[in-house]
Structure 1
Amino acid sequence: MKMGCRRFFHGSKGFLFYPRESFLSPLPRCSSHEATAVLASTSPKKTTASDTSFCIQNPYPFRNFQMGFSNSSCSSKNPDFSVESADEGSIIRSKQMAEDVETVCRILTRDPHLSSYTCFLDQSGVNITSELVSNVLKRLSNAGKLALHFFRWAEKQPNFKHSSESYHSLIDSLGKIKQFKLIWEIVNVMRDRGLLQKETFALISRRYVRAKNIREATLTFDRMRDFGLTADVSDFNSFLDTLSKSKNVKTAQEIFSDLKHRFSIDLKTYTILLEGWGSVLNLKKMTEVYKEMINDGFEPDTVTYGILIKGFARCRKLDEAEKLFQEMMSRKLKPSPHIYCTLINGLGSEKRLSDASKYFEMFKASGSPLDVPTCNAMIGSYCWAHKFEDAYKMVSEMREFGVGANARTFEVIIHHLVKAKRIEEARRVFRTMQEEAGCEPELNTYTIVVRMFCSEGRINEALQVWRMMAGKGIIPSMHMYSVIISGLQRIGRLEDASFYFQEMIERGLRPPARLYGDLKQALVDIGKGELAMQLGTKLEMLRTTPLMG
């Protein structure tokens, strides 16, 4: 590709899609011959567009700012810097691992009914290791039932033993579908096998908090002692952090007051509470905690200032945030990249583009290496101002100066394009994202694009993106199922909506009550009350029948 030529957009012939039955239909019981055929179809392939691509030849001149890199720093001519051969083996192993994970996930997600996946896994030829199992379980974080089935299959493989990490991934998945009875059975197994860690209890507490069961979360923290583990201040901080980040900072503050005598409270304890009050936009309480921190003899550091600045920025008190920045500088504390990101994001969201640019320039002049999050913050600022051409140009410059864009880069642009109703442009950027190395769309990006098409009434395109995602072995979340089901319902495709509702239940995901209520009423209105009743029965079984370990 020529310098200055950016292959950013592609033609408008559409995405490369897979037929519905290829990924969503149940698989039959398989013979060895059939398994071989299916496994061939599940081998990861690079998705490419079949249409002709074209380059944007920099239609707007680059501004005078530079990204702070010297091209010579990346030169392969440096005789003292040669890592190609040393890294080659790890690159190959990493690529093989990614392919194996995708192969396993594609096999598992082909059959929502879980009727025939084992024979395909047995004949997949994939080398089952702790790393592979942990990575697959992380990919199945939104499908607790499926994660449990894969976990069981893996532990039956010759010479394989689960690690603490794989147990934790399973617990996280099961916690999302509120299978806490089974989780405690798993805890007992981990104890018997010597794999239990304090992190296990932190994870369970986090899932109880997300399930809005604060009492059980607190009891879980205390139960560490029953399993021979002693909590220290880092565990206490972790628990307070879990509460604070789930909008339960008031409870966290109460527990802090009740239990602070048991631990040697440190600066991090206070910064957690500061961040919690800032996240719920309560500057008064945040200021009170800050004063208490000072009275207890703790001096604010860079992290503390970063949290205070973020709290004021969230409340749109950006002038106060900038004053804190200046105060920090006067104390000879060097701002972290995160602080610059916070100010750039805050100012950009208020359409103060010139001010956001000022802090970006200050960051480049600070001597810190330019990083992707800070560039993404500046790209977001351009998008808030609807200066998408400048955002695209910055993506090009990131490539040119050795700072590669990531999935979040494109997600930011797509999000703002959707908000601006520039649907076709968002569609093209999404296509480009799929072909950019290291920018493979993630679940959140797919959700944004599916929601975009559903809101525009372009349900067939939403379903095509859905199937593309399924082809990658990515499991939809409950929120994404809600989007597609509601979209289908709005245009009267109630049988299709029922299909996805049933699939969601079979994967162990509990739908919001309103989602079922709306679908049920719509089915009853067209004389399909029996179908509504069948879905209700399955939903009730999901709610009342615990999974068995």
Structure 2
Amino acid sequence: MAAALRILRAKYNSAVTGGHRCFQFTRLLTIQHDSSSSYESSTEIPLLQKLLKAPLSTIKSTLDSEFSSDAAEFPGAALLSSLNTSAPQKAYLIIEWKLENLRNDDAKDLTRYARLISLCGIIKNLHLALLVFSSMEEQGIIPASPVFNALISTSLSSGNLITALSLFEIMEGSESYKPDEDSYNAFISAYASMGNKTAAEDWFKAKMGAGFPADARAYCSLVHCCIKLRAYEDARRYFEEMMFEGVLPNESSVVQDVLLMYCHQRNSQKVKEVLKYVRWRIDLNVCKKVVDLYRELGLAGDLEDLVVALSESGQSSEARSVVHCSLMRMYADRDRLDDVEYCVGRMLKDGVSFSCDEDVEKVICCYFRREAYDRLDMFLERMKQHSYKLTKTAYDLLGAGYRRAGMLEKTNDVVSEMKRTGFA
């Protein structure tokens, strides 16, 4: 096995000098062992600033003063990624420091080596990952599938597809570290990120053929790839297959992408199905797209359902405000004043305010069209109670409306209020 890795190192060095073999991936999901560290970002932020300021020659001594050698959760992926963006040499030195500590401690923990190799993937340095692997072998640690998966992931993230494929072949020929579902997922994710839908699907089929079930990571990679290529029917098929199998997405972005796809296709029925599936948890941008679609199609009932569901699911106040106000505008445009007032009351009870001043202006115009002046007074008083400040445009609308209605006293009151607030 050591001889096989020596061959791989030679292949890697050849690939580095032959740039035409390298492939760049815009996105690669990390494998099981590399992603989340419980190391707290509140600790890493000041450390990141300290490392950025420190000269290269003091990086390791700085780390020695900050951590004991058994700081298993350090370094975190977020810190390395941030540091690699502005100071890649320092990111390299951090992993090198960690490797030296593992050697000095005579550590025999396979998981720690696998994690360190995965961190090499974050800084896209396969050479360093192979050094970690060699050190592990020198410690007498027998490799296992997680270590090879980490090497494959690092190879792919650094653009060395040939090395990744060679590692997979080594795993296939072994007895103790056969490819597992993470091995297949690494290639599915990589090809999907490259936009190579055919290759990603081939690896997906190979994974199923090897007896591994389709999981969230594989499905999400395929859905992202299909949407990026505008293969919308295939994206729909994979997403619905995932839903049917009861597989929960491992990332929220795939749900957002699917919702945006259906909004683009103006397929409100599919939007509703997805919203039920994800229990209505959507971000603000997608929420606006869904609301715009419902408004364009005049689906007041669906907006009502969305208001209730978002309130019950604890969505952000910004997202809830978008839906509340959109429904209010729809009713105001239709002069359904009773519904407008109900919406206003429900929104304020929900602890949400108007998302834009134009919404207030539409409500005011609705009151004037319905000649509901007493109810308008109650609305304005309610706005004051909730500390809402009318805009100059709103005051102008009030003045013009009262003048048309021949309500001189009200008109004068508006003028006086405008002077008091500095609008006149």
TM-score by length of 1: 0.42
1:382 Cα shift? Answer: 2.0
State the partner residue of 1:517: 288
State the partner residue of 2:144: 371
Bigger radius of gyration: 2
Task: Give the whole-Å Cα distance in 2 for the aligned partners of 1:299 and 1:476.
Answer: 36
1:481 Cα shift? Answer: 3.1
Structure 2 residue 268 is the aligned partner of structure 1 residue 500: no
State the partner residue of 1:461: 234
Letter of the structure 1 residue corresponding to residue 160 of structure 2: K
CA deviations 1:324-370 (Å, max 9, x no partner) are 14652674443643443344334444443333323223323321121
Q: Alignment partner for residue 217 of structure 2, among 434, 444, 457?
A: 444
Q: Alignment partner for residue 198 of structure 2, among 410, 424, 448?
A: 424
Q: Secondary structure at the match of 1:448?
A: helix
Task: Give the whole-Å Cα distance in 1 for the aligned partners of 2:177 and 2:106.
Answer: 26
Are the counterparts in 2 of residues 520 and 532 from structure 1 also a CA contact under 8 Å?
no
Letter of the structure 1 residue corresponding to residue 309 of structure 2: L
Task: Give the whole-Å Cα distance in 1 for the aligned partners of 2:220 and 2:116.
Answer: 28
Task: Give the whole-Å Cα distance in 2 for the aligned partners of 1:406 and 1:472.
Answer: 20
State the partner residue of 1:399: 172
Are the counterparts in 1 of residues 185 and 218 from structure 2 also a CA contact under 8 Å?
yes
Letter of the structure 1 residue corresponding to residue 71 of structure 2: T
Change (3 A) 1:382 1:397: same
Structure 2 residue 44 is the aligned partner of structure 1 residue 277: yes
CA deviations 1:356-402 (Å, max 9, x no partner) are 32322332332112122211111012212433343233223213212
- Structure 2 counterparts to residues 254-403 of structure 1, below 5 A: 276-277=43-44, 281-283=48-50, 300-301=68-69, 303-304=70-71, 307-308=74-75, 313-314=80-81, 315-316=83-84, 317-325=90-98, 327-328=100-101, 331-334=104-107, 336-401=109-174, 402-403=176-177
State the partner residue of 2:184: 410
CA deviations 1:11-54 (Å, max 9, x no partner) are xxxxxxxxxxxxxxxxxxxxxxxxxxxxxxxxxxxxxxxxxxxx
Are the counterparts in 1 of residues 129 and 151 from structure 2 also a CA contact under 8 Å?
yes
Task: Give the whole-Å Cα distance in 2 for the aligned partners of 1:484 and 1:355.
Answer: 38
1:283 Cα shift? Answer: 4.8
Task: Give the whole-Å Cα distance in 2 for the aligned partners of 1:309 and 1:515.
Answer: 31
Letter of the structure 2 residue corresponding to residue 445 of structure 1: A
Task: Give the whole-Å Cα distance in 2 for the aligned partners of 1:472 and 1:318.
Answer: 41
Letter of the structure 2 residue corresponding to residue 510 of structure 1: R
State the partner residue of 1:491: 265
CA deviations 1:446-486 (Å, max 9, x no partner) are 22221221222212112221232234332457824323211
- Structure 2 counterparts to residues 43-442 of structure 1, below 5 A: 65=7, 245=40, 247=41, 249=42, 276-277=43-44, 281-283=48-50, 300-301=68-69, 303-304=70-71, 307-308=74-75, 313-314=80-81, 315-316=83-84, 317-325=90-98, 327-328=100-101, 331-334=104-107, 336-401=109-174, 402-437=176-211, 439-442=212-215
State the partner residue of 1:536: 306
1:440 Cα shift? Answer: 2.1
Consecutive unaligned residues of structure 2, counting only runs of 5 or more, are 10-36, 55-59, 85-89, 316-424
Task: Give the whole-Å Cα distance in 2 for the aligned partners of 1:532 and 1:350.
Answer: 46
Change (3 A) 1:337 1:358: same
1:429 Cα shift? Answer: 0.9
Task: Give the whole-Å Cα distance in 1 for the aligned partners of 2:67 and 2:198.
Answer: 51
Are the counterparts in 1 of residues 106 and 139 from structure 2 also a CA contact under 8 Å?
no
1:433 Cα shift? Answer: 1.5
Are the counterparts in 2 of residues 283 and 311 from structure 1 also a CA contact under 8 Å?
no
- Select the structure with the greater relative contact order (CA < 8 A; seq sep ≥ 6): 1
Are the counterparts in 1 of residues 193 and 221 from structure 2 also a CA contact under 8 Å?
no
Change (3 A) 1:531 1:397: farther
Task: Give the whole-Å Cα distance in 1 for the aligned partners of 2:220 and 2:309.
Answer: 23
Change (3 A) 1:514 1:279: farther
Are the counterparts in 1 of residues 118 and 151 from structure 2 also a CA contact under 8 Å?
yes
1:443 Cα shift? Answer: 1.9
Letter of the structure 1 residue corresponding to residue 289 of structure 2: D
1:304 Cα shift? Answer: 1.5
Are the counterparts in 1 of residues 145 and 178 from structure 2 also a CA contact under 8 Å?
yes
Consecutive unaligned residues of structure 1, counting only runs of 5 or more, are 1-61, 68-240, 250-275
Task: Give the whole-Å Cα distance in 2 for the aligned partners of 1:337 and 1:424.
Answer: 35
1:521 Cα shift? Answer: 0.8
Letter of the structure 1 residue corresponding to residue 97 of structure 2: L
Change (3 A) 1:279 1:414: farther
Letter of the structure 2 residue corresponding to residue 443 of structure 1: A
Change (3 A) 1:465 1:381: same
Change (3 A) 1:328 1:478: closer
CA deviations 1:76-108 (Å, max 9, x no partner) are xxxxxxxxxxxxxxxxxxxxxxxxxxxxxxxxx
Are the counterparts in 2 of residues 305 and 324 from structure 1 also a CA contact under 8 Å?
no
Letter of the structure 1 residue corresponding to residue 290 of structure 2: L
Letter of the structure 1 residue corresponding to residue 291 of structure 2: K
Are the counterparts in 1 of residues 114 and 147 from structure 2 also a CA contact under 8 Å?
yes
1:310 Cα shift? Answer: 6.4
1:531 Cα shift? Answer: 4.8
Task: Give the whole-Å Cα distance in 2 for the aligned partners of 1:442 and 1:390.
Answer: 25
State the partner residue of 1:472: 245
CA deviations 1:270-312 (Å, max 9, x no partner) are xxxxxx5279845559x9xx999999xx9824x3166248687
Letter of the structure 2 residue corresponding to residue 388 of structure 1: L
Task: Give the whole-Å Cα distance in 1 for the aligned partners of 2:307 and 2:51.
Answer: 49
Task: Give the whole-Å Cα distance in 1 for the aligned partners of 2:251 and 2:165.
Answer: 32
Change (3 A) 1:311 1:443: closer
Change (3 A) 1:329 1:531: closer
Which protein has the bigger helix share? 2
Letter of the structure 1 residue corresponding to residue 262 of structure 2: L
Are the counterparts in 1 of residues 77 and 122 from structure 2 also a CA contact under 8 Å?
no
